[in-house]
Amino acid sequence: MRQFDFKDKCEERGFIAKRKVKWYNPVQLMKTAVKVLVSSIFGTFADRREFQTNGPNAPFFHRNKDELWIDYIADTGDGFHATYSMAYLLAQEQLVVDGKVLPRGDILILGGDQVYPTASRDEYYNRFRGPFESAFPENDNIPSPYMYAVPGNHDWYDGLNSFIKLFTQKRTIGNWKTQQQRSYFALRLPGNWWLWGIDIQPDSDIDGPQLEYFHKIALEHVGEEEMQVILCLADPSWVHYEKGKINNAYARLRFFQKRYIEKIKNVRGGTVAKRLKLRLTLAGDWHHYSSYCSVNKEGEATYKIVSGGGGAFLHPTHHLPREIPDLVDGPFYQKKVYPSVERSQQLLWENLFFGLRNPYLTLLIALVLWVPMALMVPSEMRVKGAQLLSIEPLNTIFSFFTELLVAHLMIGIIIGFTLIALNLLSAYVPFLSTKTWDNLSFSSLGVDDYKNFLRLHITPDKITVYPLKVERICREWSAYHNDAAPRIQPRQELKVELIEEPFELVSK
């Protein structure tokens, strides 16, 4: 078996192993801004969800077995090292965690933001499809797990075009097979469990055809017996709500929960005796892990979990609220965050090296500021300033670069301090308490470790949730030509551990 460079292996399989997105690269910033602008303008006039009415109005049934394993991962398609590390783990026949054998999911749920920085056919291929296909190549001897996906805001940046082609046309992605025909879906699971994936286009109400889809399913497939729902969506609006209070995303979720899960109306507007209960809500979008729990008077627990550690850069956890007291389904209390608050706070200070981590943006700003300064500030003052900084008079090529370097370093430190200050202030100043400020200071760091995903074990009696972490991704690979299963293998250990003790949702 001949070993060769993993990048050649990727090209042989038709994709390019991409580096992680450099969000603070000026070219990247400009491209992203244009895509976001175009998508928000055209998204306002043409909602792709409205046209997805060809797919059947029926749920997908996965209740023929007594037990079912489901993997949940979100925010996947960024740099090759992180995305492939996670895809590789998902593809393994089993993972042994804390001595317990956890088999590969019969179903893989992708929780949004399958691709970065913005959706396009090529980006999906290079950053998502290629790595996932390589990690789990098509194999007739291994039963194909199903793959379902909800779109996140990054999937929406091309108006959902690429997402619809990739996930809703019954294609295969490696050995995973897709079967949803819309950007949302309902799965009937063993026992009285359902899993619903909804498409919440950013800054938009849930569309009529989608509401009709879930309404019809509830009317036709839910009987008198109490059913329990796992809801997947691409936005942890409950956390936004607590942090910002004014939040339309949570209002939309609350509307859906009340009207389409808890109190289903019939065509005449009367409430139908359907008994659906939301027990577990899963979201990505924020690239960390957080779990919140609420226990009602009968001792029944409900959970809300953010698990967005599938590939993209890490988000902080030290700003997450300890409790969310006034959600529609009760007060929720924080159980666990990953990485820890202390580690998250430590990482924040690495922004002091902003200039070194994000050299092009800092250099651009240094140049933009330096030119007018050089023209406007009298030469005597500049010479004096230079002497204060122990730099020689500034009239040679060498001193030009020295001046620019000093400007670069100073601006890097200023930006780094500003990001740290905004992050810290956002804990206390309501105006700054939005996700943008919290996460901005981590997008500059581009930390691609501290990954996480969920493995769920579903039986008629209960669901057990295993929250899993990978502290350190693999960055060195071996590629082999192997006819049976061409694979790229990690050369560094990919250790999977529990983030917190597995927790159970017992059926009523």
Residues forming contacts to Fe ion in the complex (CB under 5 A) are: 75, 113, 312
Nearer of residues 6 and 72 to Fe ion, judged by Cβ: 72
Cα distance between residue 253 and residue 244, in whole Å: 16
| Contact criterion met (CB below 8 Å) for 433 and 310 | no
The residue (of 193 and 286) whose beta carbon lies closer to Fe ion is: 286
Which C-beta is closer to Fe ion: that of 75 or that of 448? 75
Span between the terminal Cα atoms of the chain, in Å: 54
Strand order in the sheet with 477-480: 3-4, 477-480, 488-490
Shortest Cβ 442–Fe ion spacing (Å): 12
d(CA 221, CA 144): 26
Q: How is the beta sheet containing 289-295 ordered, strand by strand? A: 60-61, 185-188, 193-197, 227-233, 276-283, 301-307, 289-295, 330-338, 323-327
- Shortest spacing between CB 312 and Fe ion, in angstroms: 5
Between 75 and 242, whose beta carbon lies closer to Fe ion?
75
Nearer to Fe ion, 75 or 158 (CB): 75
Output 113 or 207, the one with its CB closest to Fe ion: 113
CB of 243 to Fe ion, least distance (A): 17
Angle between helical axes of 359-376 and 397-425 (0-180°, round to 10): 120
Residue with tokens 């295993």, as numbered in its chain: 466
Residue whose entry in the numeric block shows the structure tokens 């209002």: 251
Q: Which two tokens stand for residue 443?
A: 């997008």
Q: Which residue, 47 or 75, has its beta carbon nearer to Fe ion? A: 75
- d(Cα 293, Cα 503) in Å, to the nearest integer? 10
Q: For Fe ion, give the closer residue by CB, 71 or 113.
A: 113
Joined together, the tokens standing for residue 24 give 């603070």
Select the residue whose beta carbon is closest to Fe ion and give its number.
113
The DSSP bridge partners found for residue 96 are 101
Shortest CB 90 distance to Fe ion, Å: 18
CA pair distance 76, 308, nearest whole angstrom = 8
CB of 77 to Fe ion, least distance (A): 10
Question: How far apart are CB 376 and Fe ion at their closest, in Å?
Answer: 42
CB 284 within 8 A of CB 237: no
Least Å from the CB of residue 249 to Fe ion:
14
Q: Would you state the structure tokens that stand for residue 178, as one six-digit string? A: 């897709």
Q: Please state the closest distance from residue 310 (CB atom) to Fe ion, in A.
A: 9
Q: Give the CA distances from residue 468 to residues 96, 169, 340, 383, in Å, rounded to whole numbers and listed in that order.
A: 11, 31, 14, 58
How many angstroms separate the CA atoms of 245 and 402, rounded? 48
Minimal distance, residue 370 CB to Fe ion, in Å = 35
Residue whose CB is less far from Fe ion, 308 or 412: 308
Q: Is 422 exposed, middle or buried (0-12, 13-18, 19+ CB in 10 A)?
A: middle
CB of 112 to Fe ion, least distance (A): 7
- Would you call 353 exposed, middle or buried from its count of C-beta atoms within 10 A (0-12, 13-18, 19+)? middle
Prior bond of 117 cis (ω within 30°): yes
Nearer to Fe ion, 19 or 322 (CB): 19
